[in-house]
């Protein structure tokens, strides 16, 4: 069996890995590290959670160790492009961990933080820039970053970059890089468009794959519950409480198709006494970081996310993925459920399927080549529906910003990728994790309907989070 010592990594890197407790390389690392260390281009099919970050980070750091160079002002030796801020932050953190015993500077570049700070970081030159494409180009255009000395380019989650419409930015960026470079290309899936992109940017690449594109993580136990859209809030509460009562809830990631839907779910859970946080493109960077931290450290065990925001979130111990709405692109389902059952653990994925989502379910089952087990509605579901409706009637009206987004306002056109990864410029942001009851100390509390009291009566809040589903993720 291959061990890290077989790779001949520089001593400070090996020490950092030992300190992190990595004993054996993961399959993608076994396949990718040796050719990457030789300077070859790489085309890797691997999802987040497989250890792919180390697969590209370790060879880059090894290069820095073996070929030390003075930093050039406003230049970087390696550029990692990622589709979301979360993933970029996470990659940068991994680099820092693995380079703990080296003198390597790592900078993240993404929207949502003041640009002067990133410009200052560039002024001395850096070794690793981890960036989302839009802000990177902003920096280049402002003359604060020169890409002519990049030795290694990493494209991470290339399929997601394409989905997010980053293709033009990507092409522009690659056009600014030296032709003579090493390119490491990673994607969770390899549709034709991604294959074409790889063919264009890679020279004689070594192809590595840890899992065929469409296979679902085997360790995830999957189930679906058929339910009316309007009754999903009650179902979510009952399901979370059941999992909690069964003692299997570690962390639950709930997927909503829209930002507004995510906020509404958090609000409804709050009204039912369940502590939850939302993470999506309308949240500011500090808000996202706070929510992620709470989820990571267990003070909040239910995180409601949109697909975009959830990409790259690396939180171990996600015991449950709940697809509150089914994704309309089947591959997205695979990405979602891949958030659980990581690092050898088991996990459970539960989908809520309304009548108008049955076609999505069929697509998913075709893709994963599996019939998802159908579960019946829980025993106390009807009572929960009645209770939820009563609480909803007495709840304060939805905050204005949520209303605006629901109606399609907020100044952000739907498919604009920047709007999805950058903070809201116009239209402000929804309040953080609205409607949370006090107490609860991060547990999925068993207090059905207890949090509605004391609130001023207001106009009801319509259940059924599907409105405007495709607009603002």
Judged by the rule CB under 6 A, the positions of this chain that interact with ligand AMP are 22, 25-26, 29, 48-54, 314, 343
Residue closer to ligand AMP by CB (options 52, 260) is: 52
How near is the Cβ of 190 to ligand AMP at its closest, in Å?
17
Residue with smaller CB distance to ligand AMP, 244 or 314: 314
Give the nearer residue to ligand AMP in terms of CB position, either 57 or 139: 57
Find out whether 48 and 87 touch, Cβ atoms under 8 Å.
yes
Shortest separation between residue 97's beta carbon and ligand AMP, angstroms:
8
Residue 408 CB neighbours (<10 A): 14
In angstroms, rounded to a whole number, what is the distance separating the alpha carbons of residues 309 and 160? 12
CB of 267 to ligand AMP, least distance (A): 31
473 closest CA partner among 261, 233, 162: 261
**Residue with smaller CB distance to ligand AMP, 46 or 265:** 46
C-alpha 268/C-alpha 94 separation (Å) is 35
First to last CA, the chain: 43
Q: Measured from the CB atom, is 57 or 351 closer to ligand AMP? A: 57
3-state secondary structure at position 306: coil
Would you call 270 exposed, middle or buried from its count of C-beta atoms within 10 A (0-12, 13-18, 19+)?
Answer: buried
Q: Which is nearer to ligand AMP, 25 or 437 (CB)?
A: 25
Q: How far is the CB of 413 from ligand AMP (least distance, A)?
A: 31
Cβ proximity to ligand AMP, 49 vs 430, nearer residue? 49
Closest approach, Cβ 108 to ligand AMP, in A, equals 16
Considering beta carbons, is residue 10 or 75 the nearer one to ligand AMP? 10
Question: What CA–CA distance (Å, rounded) separates 48 from 227?
Answer: 31
Torsion over CA: 210, 211, 212, 214 (sign) = negative
Enter the tokens of residue 288.
């996202």
Name the minimum Å distance from CB 186 to ligand AMP: 9
Backbone angles phi, psi at 288, to 5 degrees: -60, -45
- The string of DSSP codes covering 76-114 is EEEEEE-SSHHHHHHHHHHHHHHTTTS---EEEE-TTS-
Cβ atoms of residues 182 and 40 within 8 Å: yes
The residue nearest ligand AMP at its CB is 53
Nearest distance from residue 19's CB to ligand AMP, in Å? Answer: 12
The CB-of-96 to ligand AMP minimum distance in angstroms stands at 12
């Amino acid at each position: 069996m291959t061990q890290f010592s077989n790779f001949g990594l520089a001593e400070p890197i090996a020490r950092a890995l030992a300190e992190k407790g990595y004993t054996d390389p993961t399959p993608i690392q076994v396949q990718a590290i040796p050719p990457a260390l030789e300077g070859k281009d790489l085309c890797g099919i691997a999802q987040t959670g497989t250890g792919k970050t180390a697969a590209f980070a370790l060879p880059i750091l090894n290069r820095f160790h073996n070929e030390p160079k003075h930093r050039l002002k406003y230049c970087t030796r390696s550029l990692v492009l990622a589709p979301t801020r979360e993933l970029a932050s996470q990659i940068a953190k991994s680099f820092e961990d693995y380079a703990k015993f080296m003198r390597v500077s790592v900078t993240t570049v993404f929207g949502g933080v003041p640009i002067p700070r990133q410009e200052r970081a560039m002024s001395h030159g850096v070794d690793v820039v981890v960036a989302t494409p839009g802000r990177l180009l902003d920096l280049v255009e402002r003359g604060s970053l020169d890409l002519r000395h990049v030795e290694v380019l990493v494209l991470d989650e290339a399929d997601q970059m394409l989905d997010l419409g980053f293709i033009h930015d990507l092409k522009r960026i690659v056009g600014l890089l030296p032709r003579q470079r090493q390119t490491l290309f990673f994607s969770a899936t390899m549709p034709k468009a991604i294959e074409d992109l790889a063919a264009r940017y890679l020279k004689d690449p070594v192809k590595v794959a840890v899992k065929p594109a469409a296979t679902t993580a085997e360790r995830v136990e999957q189930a679906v519950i058929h339910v009316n859209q309007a009754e999903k809030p009650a179902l979510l509460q009952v399901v979370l409480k059941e999992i909690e009562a069964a003692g299997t809830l570690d962390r639950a990631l709930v997927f909503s198709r829209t930002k507004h839907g995510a906020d509404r779910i958090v609000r409804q859970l709050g009204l039912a006494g369940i502590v939850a946080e939302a993470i999506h493109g309308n949240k500011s960077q500090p808000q996202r970081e706070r929510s992620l931290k709470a989820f990571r450290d267990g003070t909040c065990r239910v995180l409601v996310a949109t697909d975009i925001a959830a990409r790259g979130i690396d939180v171990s111990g996600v015991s449950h993925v709940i697809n509150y709405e089914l994704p309309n692109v089947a591959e997205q389902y695979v990405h979602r459920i891949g958030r659980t059952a990581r690092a050898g653990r088991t996990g459970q994925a539960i989908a809520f399927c309304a009548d108008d989502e049955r076609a999505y379910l069929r697509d998913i089952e075709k893709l994963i080549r599996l019939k998802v087990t159908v579960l019946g509605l829980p025993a106390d579901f009807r009572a929960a529906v009645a209770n939820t409706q009563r609480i909803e009637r007495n709840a304060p009206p939805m905050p204005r910003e949520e209303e605006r987004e629901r109606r399609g306002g907020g100044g952000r056109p739907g498919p604009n990728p920047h709007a999805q990864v950058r903070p809201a410029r116009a239209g402000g942001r929804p309040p953080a994790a609205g409607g949370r009851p006090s107490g609860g100390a991060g547990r999925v509390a068993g207090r059905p309907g207890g949090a509605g009291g004391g609130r001023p009566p207001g106009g009801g809040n319509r259940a059924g989070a599907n409105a405007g589903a495709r607009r603002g993720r």
